[in-house]
């Protein structure tokens, strides 16, 4: 039977998944993608093959799929029926690796317990990332599971970039700048040599713009700086998160508004960002269609902060050779790209309007001093690659132990 890698990205009420086959030469071929959403409310599983054909489209009563483990059971049951076996290994997106984990890591009980301690640093993500791992451990304890971290790509930053102006004891405890969306940035860094060979050797600012948004300075394929820091709340304004915030505002909300820590967590993760600014929606598509001046303010603020961050990241590298847009907004919102490039014209960026409307890959004029690209990200493929690498490393170690 052929080897397969299942990639899982779990949220609070949904599980997104993709299945890859391992072809000759360890080439990964995507076989299907799908998701189960509406967990505990209106559970709905849909999966499609690479040609777009629907493989399953099914709903259940809420009581039948009341949590993420039950949802994972439905996904695994579908996959077993579809491919006739369990996947060879499962790769999981885990948002926070903390100070201990930078490379893809085989999940053990000890690793899982350690990762759980980082849940307060990513309360919307980490617990949900870990839930399906626990479910598989309970049901299929011998199935290889690999955690792939959104913080991993940034872990080689120099200490001067990772430090906050806080006492040493807090840094030693792990209070430092980690950066996120690393799987996306790692994919872009791997893709650049085939799309823009010169930029791959140079200094690129990559904008991962989605409901969660950040930017990264990548020099010669390595992360130098990222707009996100200790948590996935820092940096750019996002769908419902505020981005960069004066810590004094937190003190004000605690002292003057009487908010508890839990009140603050809910407020900062779910009521701010584009949603808070506009009072309309956290979805850029809705805001682009709206005539409400608050929608324009939210988008103008979003673009303004992106442009400011581009200058900061260019400074971290001593210059900039190219700008790359990726993720949902970056790949699909030409008006946002145009507005960002317009603000960065002082860097020598010249937009090709026709290429931008078509989505690139290159959207700057040939004579532009700074090149500009749109490159679709593929975090799932990156996770599958990492998982396969770990799978092969384990097989090599077992072989060595047997021959020793």
Q: What is the dihedral of CA 274, 276, 279, 282, to 10 degrees?
A: 40
Cα 334 to chain centroid, rounded: 21
- As to burial, measured by CB atoms within 10 angstroms (0-12 exposed, 13-18 middle, 19+ buried), residue 239 is buried
How far apart, in whole angstroms, are the C-alpha atoms of residue 308 and residue 247?
20
How far apart, in whole angstroms, are the C-alpha atoms of residue 220 and residue 39?
42
Taking Cα atoms as reference points, which of 134, 268, 241 lies closest to residue 180? 241
Q: Is there a catalytic annotation at residue 150?
A: yes
Catalytic annotation, pick one of 53, 100, 150, 234: 150
Q: Which positions ≥6 away from 375 have C-beta within 8 Å?
A: 188, 191, 192, 195, 324, 325, 326, 360, 361
Mind telling me the catalytic residues? 150
């Amino acid at each position: 039977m052929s080897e397969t890698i299942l990639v899982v990205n779990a949220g609070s009420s949904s599980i997104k998944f993709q299945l890859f086959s391992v072809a000759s030469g360890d080439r990964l071929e995507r076989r299907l993608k799908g998701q189960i959403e509406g967990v505990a409310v209106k559970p709905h599983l849909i999966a499609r093959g690479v040609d777009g054909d629907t493989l399953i489209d099914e709903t259940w009563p809420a009581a039948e799929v009341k949590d993420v483990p039950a949802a994972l059971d439905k996904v695994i049951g579908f996959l077993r029926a579809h491919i006739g076996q369990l996947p060879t290994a499962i790769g999981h997106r885990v948002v926070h690796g903390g100070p201990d984990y930078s490379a893809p890591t085989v999940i053990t009980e000890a690793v899982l317990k350690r990762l759980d301690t980082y849940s307060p640093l990513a309360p919307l993500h980490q617990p949900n990332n870990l839930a399906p791992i626990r479910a598989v451990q309970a049901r299929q304890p011998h199935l290889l599971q690999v955690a792939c971290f959104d913080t991993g790509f940034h872990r080689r930053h120099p200490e001067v970039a990772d430090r906050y102006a806080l006492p040493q004891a807090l840094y030693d405890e792990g209070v430092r700048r980690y950066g996120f969306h690393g799987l996306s940035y790692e994919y872009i860094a791997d893709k650049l040599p085939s799309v823009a060979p010169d930029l791959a050797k140079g200094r690129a600012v990559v904008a991962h713009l989605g409901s969660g948004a950040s930017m990264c300075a990548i020099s010669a394929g390595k992360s130098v700086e990222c707009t996100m820091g200790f948590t996935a709340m820092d940096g750019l304004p996002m769908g419902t998160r505020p981005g960069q915030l004066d810590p004094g505002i937190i003190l004000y909300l605690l002292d003057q508004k009487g908010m508890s820590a839990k009140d603050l967590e809910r407020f900062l993760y779910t009521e701010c960002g584009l949603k808070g600014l506009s009072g309309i929606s956290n979805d850029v598509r809705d805001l682009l269609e709206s005539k409400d001046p608050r929608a324009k303010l939210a988008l103008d603020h979003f673009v303004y902060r992106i442009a400011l961050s581009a200058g900061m990241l260019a400074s971290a590298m001593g210059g900039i050779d190219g700008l790359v847009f990726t993720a949902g907004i970056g790949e699909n919102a030409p008006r946002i790209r145009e507005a960002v490039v317009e603000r960065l014209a002082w860097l020598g960026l010249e937009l090709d309007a026709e290429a931008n409307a078509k989505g690139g890959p290159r959207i700057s004029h040939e004579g532009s001093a700074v090149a500009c690209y749109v490159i679709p990200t593929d975090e799932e493929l990156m996770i599958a690659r990492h998982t396969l690498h770990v799978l092969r490393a384990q097989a090599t170690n077992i072989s060595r132990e047997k021959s020793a």
